[in-house]
């Protein structure tokens, strides 16, 4: 076993950059595969093994790895989102935050009306978005139509894509504050109207994502390539 030269390491990075890999996990897995293979052969044999690796990790293989990772991490995100309905699987702090969020939502809905509840959805959405983009700053550039992009963590990208479901409603509500007015609920039965139920579900949905962003680390070490 030997230590790779700077030139060899640079060559690996150049090769991987040319494959336009989407996710950091896939990039790191392929890099480790290159490194571990080359460090076990002599420097003289390195070019031949490097060529073989290039033929193994083609663009089509990388795309397959990206899709496999997306599928696996998406399942994890869904599982964590559904845990919001299982308090016994959450930490005490997370359960308290959920309870507080629900209480605030009920208070807003009853005393301030549906428009206020919609704005509350917007606030939660924007907070989640800011935290997510702060944790992984490459996400913003990654989602722009640019040729030169850095890789991002699959979990962060999937959470961002799911957050997009409520971002539109949240931003729309905040941009229309000039039309805002308080509408106190006249009767408890209004809680069961489609509008209120929809926004309550959006609050819970957004909270399930912010919970993942703040307090959970998804398993990223998923093997997506089998030799």
pLDDT reported for residue 173: 65
The pLDDT-based confidence of 7 (bands split at 50, 70, 90) is very high
- Examine residue 143 and state whether it is found in any structural domain, yes or no: yes
Indicate the range of 6-10, 101-105, 115-119 predicted with least confidence.
115-119
Is 15 found in the same domain as 107?
no
Is 53 found in the same domain as 76?
no
Indicate the range of 22-36, 53-67, 191-205 predicted with least confidence.
191-205
Is 114 found in the same domain as 32?
no
| pLDDT tens for each residue of 145-194 | 656 667 888 888 888 888 877 777 666 666 665 555 556 555 555 566 77
pLDDT reported for residue 222: 47
Is 89 found in the same domain as 36?
no
pTM, two decimal places? 0.76
Higher-confidence residue of 185 and 213: namely 213
Is 128 found in the same domain as 90?
yes
Is 96 found in the same domain as 193?
yes
Return d(Cα 71, Cα 145) in angstroms, integer: 23
Return d(Cα 58, Cα 16) in angstroms, integer: 10
Question: Measuring CA to CA, how many Å separate 47 from each of 12, 31, 64, 117?
Answer: 11, 16, 26, 62
The pLDDT-based confidence of 82 (bands split at 50, 70, 90) is confident
Number of domains in the chain: 2
- Examine residue 87 and state whether it is found in any structural domain, yes or no: yes
- Examine residue 221 and state whether it is found in any structural domain, yes or no: no
Is 134 found in the same domain as 78?
yes
The pLDDT mean for the chain works out to 80
- Examine residue 220 and state whether it is found in any structural domain, yes or no: no
- Examine residue 63 and state whether it is found in any structural domain, yes or no: no
- Examine residue 227 and state whether it is found in any structural domain, yes or no: no
Is 17 found in the same domain as 87?
no
pLDDT reported for residue 53: 95
Higher-confidence residue of 59 and 210: namely 59
pLDDT reported for residue 52: 95
Tokens of 15: 């090769």
Containing domain of residue 81, as a range? 72-215
């Amino acid at each position: 076993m030997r230590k790779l030269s700077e030139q060899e390491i640079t060559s690996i990075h150049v090769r991987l950059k040319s494959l336009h890999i989407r996710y950091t996990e896939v990039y790191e897995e392929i890099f480790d595969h290159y490194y571990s293979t080359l460090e076990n052969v002599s420097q003289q044999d390195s070019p031949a093994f490097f060529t073989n690796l290039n033929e193994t990790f083609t663009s089509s293989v990388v795309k397959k790895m990206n899709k496999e990772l997306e599928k696996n991490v998406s399942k994890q995100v869904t599982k964590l989102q559904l845990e919001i309905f299982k308090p016994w699987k959450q930490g005490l702090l997370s359960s308290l935050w959920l309870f507080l969020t629900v209480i605030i939502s009920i208070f807003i809905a009853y005393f301030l009306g549906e428009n206020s509840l919609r704005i509350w959805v917007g606030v939660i959405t924007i907070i989640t978005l800011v935290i997510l983009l702060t944790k992984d700053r490459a996400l913003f550039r990654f989602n722009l139509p640019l040729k030169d992009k850095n890789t991002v963590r699959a979990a962060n990208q999937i959470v961002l894509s799911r957050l997009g479901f409520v971002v539109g409603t949240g931003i729309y509500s905040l941009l229309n504050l000039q039309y805002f007015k308080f509408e106190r609920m006249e009767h408890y039965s209004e809680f069961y109207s489609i509008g209120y139920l929809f926004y309550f579900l959006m609050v819970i949905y957004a909270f399930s994502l912010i919970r993942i962003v703040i307090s959970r680390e998804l398993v990223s070490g998923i093997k997506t390539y089998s030799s």
